[in-house]
Amino acid sequence: MSAQIIDGKQIALDVRAGVAEKVAALKAKGITPCLAVVLVGENPASVSYVTGKRKALAEAGMADRSEVLPENTSEEELLSLIDKLNKDDSVHGILVQLPLPKHINEDKVIMAISPEKDVDGFHPVNVGNLVIGKKAFLPCTPHGIIVLLERMGIETSGKHAVVIGRSNIVGKPVSLLLARKETNCTVTICHTGTKNMAEITRQAEILIAASGHPHTVTADMVKDGAVIIDVGVNRIPDSTKKSGFRLIGDCDFDELKEKASYITPVPGGVGPMTIAMLMYNTLEAAENKANA
């Protein structure tokens, strides 16, 4: 058996095309969805992510109010900028690129963003609404995973989903989304304190790997026909590449593709969905404002 590869690139393009159509319709009514991406410092990975987000904004026809601040920007200066963006009615979404320099408190910054503009879905109000099943901005990567399952026509109702990882960015929110009535999975979370992890992962019909370590999941840990969603992005040295490294996930892709029914590649699986869902959330923020 060879797994069907889930083409996250193509699904993300489809989502973004749908967003661009709705943006054009809003613009015809005189409303241009606008996102401010705030970057502090020059972390190479963050610079690359922000460049990707800004390119996606331009392609979707949205306004880009991004701000790049020096590494030595004070916490007070950053909070003051967020306050200004919160009060600006022409800005619909605010995203502060993490991680922040060590002298800035990330929690304080997340709390400062207005929940109505928190298109990352990290503000406690949005997290709380997700938990109790009310309307909220859903975190982009977890929401992207759910959209991948839906677009591939993968049956989720009544299935046992195992999530490896309990981060606030992926593990916890994707577990909540999988357990919602619409998705209807039975969910188990594994983490660094889990004993006999392989025994649990072998029960998974849907396995979400978000541990942040390469080759966390090997073929002996997975049952035949499982659906594998690999969220990991790990850089490993590779002298054959111009960059000197290549990206791999948390799963042993080559082994698992012979055992799974569906699997996401790294890169080109979950990654492209994150930016697509950010565009989706920014559009939703603009629509919410228009309907208010």
Three-state secondary structure along 231-282? Answer: CCCEEEECCCCCCCEEEECCECHHHHCCCCCEECCCCCCCHHHHHHHHHHHH
The amino acid that residue 62 corresponds to is M
Q: Would you please indicate which residues are annotated as catalytic (active-site) residues? A: 53, 97, 120
Q: Do 47 and 39 touch, CB atoms closer than 8 A?
A: yes
> Quick one: which of 47, 97, 104, 52 has its CA closest to 73?
104
Q: Per-residue confidence of the chain (292 residues) as pLDDT tens digits?
A: 799 999 999 999 999 999 999 999 999 999 999 999 999 999 888 998 999 999 999 999 999 999 999 999 999 999 999 999 999 999 999 999 999 999 999 999 999 999 999 999 999 999 999 999 999 999 999 999 999 999 999 999 999 999 999 999 999 999 999 999 999 999 999 999 999 999 999 999 999 999 999 989 999 999 999 999 999 998 888 888 888 888 899 999 999 999 999 999 999 999 999 999 999 999 999 999 999 8
**128 labeled part of a ligand binding site:** no
CATH node for 30-114: 3.40.50.10860
In this chain, the answer to whether the domains covering 30-114 and 140-271 adopt an identical fold is yes
Quote the pTM value.
Answer: 0.95
CATH node for 140-271: 3.40.50.720
Residue 243: per-residue pLDDT: 84
Distance CA(267)–CA(269), nearest Å, equals: 6
**233 labeled part of a ligand binding site:** yes
Residue 238: per-residue pLDDT: 85
**165 labeled part of a ligand binding site:** yes
Q: Per-domain residue ranges for the chain?
A: 30-114, 140-271
Residue 222: per-residue pLDDT: 98
> Which contiguous run of DSSP H or E holds residue 42?
none
**166 labeled part of a ligand binding site:** yes
Residue 145 token pair: 């995973």
Q: Do 265 and 9 touch, CB atoms closer than 8 A?
A: no
